[in-house]
Chains A and B, each alone.
Chain A
């Protein structure tokens, strides 16, 4: 047997209170696409950070082509041929592609030479990109190309990709896979991190599955069913949320001809958005992040005011009402960013319960706060949604992401809204918690509430929503019934390939 490209043996890394990686061992062969599979918090990120020299293992060893390998910093890892494309891009919007790439280099060549090398590499790998375009004008898929090209210029032996498809439409994913296949055929190994099982089944040669920091199994993805892999990932049989057949009532929320500029500079303006949600209906809004999701939530929560008639609740114009007035009517929202937007990090859970609950739960009288009632409301949320915390006096930031998300969603659901808008309700939440959040949303709809679920997780939207629309550059596609929608159709609603070309391979 040949020596593998990278061998990990017994890697362990503990943080205060949690063992992120516990005795993880596996090999990545030359020219192999190796999947690293696991839920959020399974320890995938810590593991690749150790390979990339960002984190030092507490114990265990790595070897690269048989030689001991212990990069003290990313620079050393890059010198040894390891490159990484992060989930969150580190690009400057105001600079052009070549300038951004030059910033990440030790000794950047003159700009003209660099630009021609970028052209050369981008054409070889089917990633067409103009080195002189400003990054601020690029789509998410194109930005990812910048990151990939930045890595390819180093001529890597191992390319690490952290959830690369979370920002891509299905068509863009196909283009990316062509490129990765070409790299594999040239002998480059790829470590591919994801929790999307179908992708891994199409692309990867081998998969290692992590659960709670431990290597719980390996498999050949093309020969294993998605369900089996999911159960290895979660460690138990999965519960699919129940969806009972529902009758839809009258239109509860009616948005028509809505156009607003974004409050932030690199945000996305909403352009002529139309949508109607009936009582008992769940409308799923898909789309790649940054296409107007935050703005849509702001418009519905009352943080961004519009003309009165653009947003109607039960026929009543509410476009000019602020968040408090809308809550009074029964229009509740749960934003994506938990810390700092949906909740105040340093305040207690009791105070955070007051944040949106004051009007509907009667937590104030004549402006004076009723702390006892507020605390019991917080306790009710903690109990009903199984929020793991010692008690409501703890600061919001002391909760894990998933627990805080359950608290934030529970806070709105328990106020029995007539319209509930949630943005990324299960982002960064483990599978069990995500299932219970989805169930709560469906139960709420079953009671007759109109629900809008904004999410980038298409599987989630297919699972819970009755109709589906997609945001693309601030425009919302016409909503369609979910049943019978194909992945291709969804992809086209999300904007197709955004004008990107298929790799010439």
Chain B
């Protein structure tokens, strides 16, 4: 008998708990750390759904890249605005964590197709070459756009 449904359920409960932590966090920096853990949990979930490459990408891109940017923005934004008012009724959201874990363990797809890196790489390079190039151009354009937005009008200093 496979224990994967139980592991999947526990991972789901932990991931949702981290997300609820983001919801209830009083400080943006703590929310950023919890968001990193949420994304790592999601990467583990992708691995459990037999997609190890996508799980790794999820952790690398979200947990690594995006979250570093978020934390930089948190540190660069004006101080004194880190406290967030929230009512205690939001604490009821903690109940979502065990509920999601239970539902996930009951509905784990035992016969999910394996999406290996080899399969995905072959598919991308042999049949989706143009799309892959478009993605690269999109990322480059995003980088240029971000620089254009961040550069100030006066004297051309970057913020």
Are chains A and B native binding partners rather than an unrelated pairing?
A: no
